[in-house]
Structure 1
Amino acid sequence: MNPPKPPQVTARDDGYPDLIVHNASLVLTCAGKGPRRGSEQDDLHAVPDGAVAVTGSRITAVGPVTDIMQMGGVPTTLLDARGGIVMPGMVDSHTHPVYGGNRADEFLKRLAGASYEELHAAGGGIQATVDATRKMRVADLVESARGRLWSMFFAGVTTFEAKSGYGLSVASEMTQLQAIRELDAEGPWELVPTFLGAHALPRECADDRGGYVDLVCEKMIPKVAALELAEFCDVFCERGAFTVEESRRILQTGQAHGLIPKLHADELSPSGGTRLGVELGARSVDHLPYVNDEEIELLGKSNTAAVLLPATSFFLFKDRYAPGRKLVDAGAIVALASDHNPGSSHTLSMGRVLELGVMRCGLTVREALNAVTVNAAYAVGREKEVGTLEPGKQADIIILNVSTPEDLIYAWGVNHVVAVIKRGRLVDRRRQPDETRPKTQRFSDLFS
C-alpha cells in the first residue's frame, strides 16, 4: 500500500486564501530539508508574530503577519490565535488504537507488585486483549476506537500510525486492519496502517513457534498485501516474543510483498532489534530503553528513525527510559510517540509524552516538539505531506494557548490545544459523536 501522492496546490479563482491564521506569538514551522538531526533538532524555524494562509486543504504561505494579511480578501476567513503558538498538527507515530476489552485489572496487579513480563507469561498481557478482540466485528472495533481517536485528536494529534496485532489469526488481523481503514475514511484524522501479526505467539501456538511464523509469512502477509490493508510490517523483537532470526524472516517476507519494515526493539532487554532494523533499512525502531552505545552510533549514521515511547516506561513503573539525549547527540532521527494500548501505555495524551520526553529522555523542549512533528512524520512515511508548516504541505495546524514552547512543559499536565485544523478545516468539537460526550437530561426525566 503506497502513501497518497500530494495533490497540486490550487488557488481560488479570485486569488484569495480561504483561511488565514493570524495573531500568533510564534508560528513553529518545523521546516527544513528532511528530518531533524543533531543540533538541528533544537531549531523549530519559528516565525515571531507570524501567520499561515490556507487554500483548500493546502498551506499557501507562511510568514510575518504583515505580509500574510495582505494576501486576504473579502472571502477569506480569519482565525485569531490570540497570541498563542501555531504549529503543525502532531503525528503519533506508534499506536495500537483498535482493540477489545480492558486491562485495568492488570494495572491493579502491577500496583501490587506484579511485573508486565509475569502477567504476560501467565496468559494475560497481550493475550488477554487478543481474546477480547477476536470476539469483535469490524463495526464493534470502529465504535470502540472512535472515542479514543477523538480524545487524541483534540489533544493535537492529526495523524496516527495505527497497528494491528491483537488478532493473531488470519481472520482477526484482517478484521483489525479493516477497522483501521474504515476509521481512516471516517476522519477527520488520518491513520497510517501497520501490520503487526508478529506481536506475540497466540495461545494456540504456544508450542509451535515455527508454525506461527509460517502462518504470518505464508498466509497473513500475502493477504494483507493483496488487500492493500497496510503500508508497514512490524515485529515485536524481544525476549518472550520473537527472536532476531524470526523477526528477520517476517520483515523480509513483508519487504518482498511491498511492506516497509518497523520493529519494536530493545524495550525490556537487549534484543538485537535495533541492529536488525538498521540492517534491513527499517523506517523506524521503537522503544529502545536497552539500546547500547554501538547501536546508538549505528542509528546516528542510518536513515532509520528512533521512536521513543517514554509513556510505556512510565506506565510500567520502569526506571529505565530510552536515551534520547545520547541519540540526538549521535545524529539519530529521534521521534516521540504515545504507544497507546490497553496494557502498557494506556494514555491518550501526547502532551504527557512531550513532558516525559523532556523530563525522562533528556530532550530539550524544542527537540521534543520536532520529535512529534517533522521527525514523527518521517517515521510513518508522511514527511512530504505533514509534520511542518510549509507552502504545499497539507494544512494540519494546531493552536496552543501558550506564548513560548517552554510553557508547554513548564505548565505540565494541561491540554494546551485550543483549536485543531485538519486538511484546511477547523474541526468543531461538536463534531465529536454523542456517545463520546457527556449527556445531560432533567432529573425528572428519570421518573417520567
Structure 2
Amino acid sequence: MAAPAWDTLWLDGHLATLAPDRADSGDAYGSLADGALAARDGRIAWIGRRADLPGRPEDLARRVVQLDGRWITPGLIDCHTHLVFGGERIDEWERRLNGESYADIARSGGGIGRTVRLTRAADEDALLAGAAARLRPLLAEGVTTVEVKSGYGLELEAELKMLRVARRLDAVLPVSVRATLLAAHALPPEFARDRAGYITLICEQIIPAAAAEGLADAVDAFCETIAFTPEETARVFTTAQAHGLPVKLHADQLADSGGAALAARFGALSADHIEYADAAGLDAMAAAGTVAVLLPGAFYLLRETRMPPVAGLRARSIPMALSTDLNPGTSPMRSLLLTLNMGCTLFGLTPAEALAGVTRHAARALGLTDRGMLAPGLRCDLALWEIERPAELAYWLGGSRCSGAVLAGVDRVLP
C-alpha cells in the first residue's frame, strides 16, 4: 500500500474559503459545508467536500483531525500595526478625556514625542517583551500574520532597532511577521527646523541601511497636514523603490492631501485610513490596484465623524482591508475581531466584506500572494472556530471563539 500523500487532513467541518471563485452555497464567504482540507509540506494540498475525497481518510493522511462541526477560515492577518514601542500613554488618554487638547499635551512633553523618547531609551529585549505581550491577544484570536511598523525611533539606529525587534517576534511567538520602515512618521525634535535635512537622512542613510540589512519588507510614510507633504513623501518613495522596496501610505486621514492619488502613482500596496480621499484619488487607486486599509480603531478613539468612502470603494471594486492600527496614541486596540465589528457597525461593511478584509485583502495589502484564502497551493495558515456561521466573527463584542490555529500546516501552540 502506498504511503499517505498528505501530512494532515481536517474533516467534518465547514470551510469559509474566502476564495471569490469558489462558493458552495452561493454565499460571499466561499463556503463549503461538510468540507475537508488537507496539508502537505506546509501548504494546502486538497480542499473540497468530504464526500469527494479520493479515498478513505486514514489512507490519505498520516494524521486525521475531526472538526466536529467547527468552521475553518484562513488565518487572520493584521496588516497595519505599530506593535513595537516603548512605554504607554494611558495618562494622556485620561487627560484628553478631562478636556486637555492634544496640542497642550504635546507642549508638555507628551504625544508622539514621548513615545519616541521612550522607544529610543529602551533596549531591544525590553521592546521585544512589550511587543510580544501586545501580540499575544491577537494570536489568541486566530491571527497568523502581522505587519509591524517602525516610526518611533526617527533616527538611524533607533529605526533599525525597531525593525530588528519586529524581525525577532517570530522567534518568540508562532506568527509570520512583515516589517515596514516608517521613518517618515513624524519630524524628530532635532530636525524641528530642518525638514529637508530629515528627509535627506531617511533617503541617504535609513532606507539604504534597512535595505542592506534585509530588515524591511516595505516602506511607509505619513502624508498629512501634520506630518509630511506629498513632495517629501514622493522623495521617500522614490528612494524606497530604488532599493527594491514596495511602498505603503498613511493617506488622507485628517484632510484631503492627495495621498490616495500619490500612493497610486507609486503603485503602493495600500493606502491606509483614507477618510478624506476624493474621487480622483479613488480612481487612481483602482487603476493602480492599490488596496484600501480601513482603520476603525483610530476613527473611534479620535471620535472622528468623516467615514472612509466605502461606497466609492465598492463602486470601483477597490479591495478593502481592515486592521487594528495598534499603537499607543490613537488606537490601543489588541483585538482584530473587535475591528471586524467596528468595520461593520461604524463603516457599514458587511460581515463577509469584513472577514475578507482581514484575510484575502489584508494579504494583498502586504504584497503576499501565498495566503489569505483556502485554496490548493497556498500556505496552510488556518483559524478554527466554535461558531455556527462566519458572521459570528463580526457579531460578538468581546471574547474569542477561536479554538485553535495552524501555521504553515503545523498546529500552533502559544508558549
Contact 2:223-2:229 within 8 A present in 1 as well? yes
1:14/1:321 CA distance change after superposition, 3 Å: same
Give the one of 168, 192, 214 matched to 1:228.
214
Give the one of 324, 328, 332 matched to 1:342.
328
**Separation in 2 of the partners of 1:329 and 1:22?**
38
**Separation in 2 of the partners of 1:19 and 1:129?**
45
Q: 1:52 is matched with which residue?
A: 37
Q: 2:401 is matched with which residue?
A: 416
**Separation in 2 of the partners of 1:71 and 1:263?**
50
Q: 2:274 is matched with which residue?
A: 288
Alignment of 1:397-412 (within 5 A): 397-412=382-397
Residue 132 (1) aligns with residue 118 (2)? yes
Secondary structure at the residue paired with 2:288?
coil
Contact 2:184-2:228 within 8 A present in 1 as well? yes
Contact 2:218-2:245 within 8 A present in 1 as well? yes
Contact 2:12-2:69 within 8 A present in 1 as well? yes
Q: 2:10 is matched with which residue?
A: 21
Alignment of 1:270-419 (within 5 A): 270-383=256-369, 385-419=370-404
Which amino acid letter does the alignment assign opposite residue 363 of structure 2?
A
Which amino acid letter does the alignment assign opposite residue 27 of structure 1?
L
- How many residues are matched? 410
**Separation in 2 of the partners of 1:115 and 1:79?**
55
Identity, % of aligned positions: 38
Shift, 1:122, TM fit = 5.5
Q: 2:19 is matched with which residue?
A: 31
**Separation in 2 of the partners of 1:299 and 1:157?**
27
Secondary structure at the residue paired with 1:23?
strand
Contact 1:20-1:69 within 8 A present in 2 as well? no
Question: Please, which runs of 5 or more residues in structure 2 have no aligned partner?
Answer: 22-26
Secondary structure at the residue paired with 1:52?
strand
1:15/1:409 CA distance change after superposition, 3 Å: same
**Separation in 1 of the partners of 2:56 and 2:135?**
35
Secondary structure at the residue paired with 1:159?
strand
Normalising by structure 1, report the TM-score.
0.87
Contact 2:42-2:379 within 8 A present in 1 as well? yes
111-120 or 245-254, which deviates more: 111-120
Shift, 1:22, TM fit = 2.0
Which amino acid letter does the alignment assign opposite residue 70 of structure 2?
G
Shift, 1:293, TM fit = 2.7
Contact 1:53-1:68 within 8 A present in 2 as well? no
1:104/1:278 CA distance change after superposition, 3 Å: same
**Separation in 2 of the partners of 1:301 and 1:115?**
40
Shift, 1:44, TM fit = 2.2
1:398/1:101 CA distance change after superposition, 3 Å: same
Which amino acid letter does the alignment assign opposite residue 339 of structure 1?
D
Shift, 1:249, TM fit = 0.5
* Cα RMSD for the two superposed structures: 2.1
Contact 1:308-1:324 within 8 A present in 2 as well? no
Normalising by structure 2, report the TM-score.
0.94
Q: 2:24 is matched with which residue?
A: none
